[in-house]
Amino acid sequence: MQNTNRLSSSILGLFIFLGLTTLGFLLANAVIEYKQYERTITVKGLSEKEFKADIVLWPIQFIAASNELDALYNAIETSTTKINAFLTDKGIDVNEISFSAPAITDKSAQQYGSSNQYQYRYTAMQTVTVYSTKIGIVRELMGALSELGKQGIVFTGDNYQSQTEYIFTRLNDVKPDMVEEATRKAREVAEKFASDSDSKLGKIKKAVQGQFSIRARDKNNPHIKMVRVVSTIEYYLSD
């Protein structure tokens, strides 16, 4: 009976030993495989394309001066009418033109003004704004404003409010293709790295799509926009 118990204990101990040995082997392999699985590479892919803007915002500012308010408002009205006719005759729709209220300055009411410091008591600035998709026509008209200047309209374009803006509104339309291109280029870089390092490229561990940026291609062509996005992707590597 005692010998039987000793044999049973020995067999149990052998199985426990074999079990622990096998478990240790499996755990060791699991750690090695896990570390191999965690080998990664992070790459960036760039997509950059040119697109024409689809909306132009063109503020046309002019000034008038007079010593009489009635004469000043008449001058503003006359100039506004001439500008409106000029734009519509050249192909701009009436609903694409808007007019702001004129900003009137009374120099005699200014704190440090005096009657011998100015020629005209009243000055006014008026803005006519074109908001249009006809960018080609608008750009031609910008160079033709001298026609109105010869009619006595004094234009001003030295301040921030009078700067022309070109707007690109089709970003959502081009996003999918650009993201696809950026992802493809990132994978090409990762595959080259994996090949050079005798590794195999695995699945994506993490991907971050960068923000889209829109800027003018250059200062001479603000109506041509450069759209750019950079995707950052982390891939697994294996031997």
pLDDT digits (tens, 9 = 90+) for 28-78: 454 444 445 568 889 999 999 999 999 999 999 999 999 999 999 999 999
| pLDDT higher than threshold 70 for residue 125 | yes
Report the pLDDT averaged over residues 95-114.
82
pLDDT per residue as tens digits for the range 190-223: 999 888 888 888 888 899 988 899 999 999 999 9
CB 103, CB 86: distance < 8 Å? no
Rounded to the nearest angstrom, the gap between the alpha carbon of residue 194 and the centroid of all alpha carbons in its chain is: 33
State the average pLDDT for the chain. Answer: 84
133 has pLDDT over 50: yes
Residue 46 pLDDT: 94
Say what the pLDDT of residue 198 is: 87
pLDDT band, very low/low/confident/very high, at 27 (cuts 50, 70, 90): very low
pTM of the model: 0.74
200-209 and 224-238 strand pairing: antiparallel
The Cα 18–Cα 189 span in angstroms is: 47
pLDDT of residue 12: 52
Q: What is the mean pLDDT of residues 162-189?
A: 93
The whole-number pLDDT of residue 41 equals 86
Phi-psi region of 21 (alpha: psi -120 to 50; beta: other; left: phi over 0): alpha
Which residues touch 121 (CB under 8 Å, ≥6 apart)?
A: 66, 67, 106, 107, 108
pLDDT (mean) for 169-197: 92
pLDDT of the residue at 116? 57
Q: How far is CA 89 from CA 77, 81, 86, 127, in A?
A: 18, 12, 5, 19
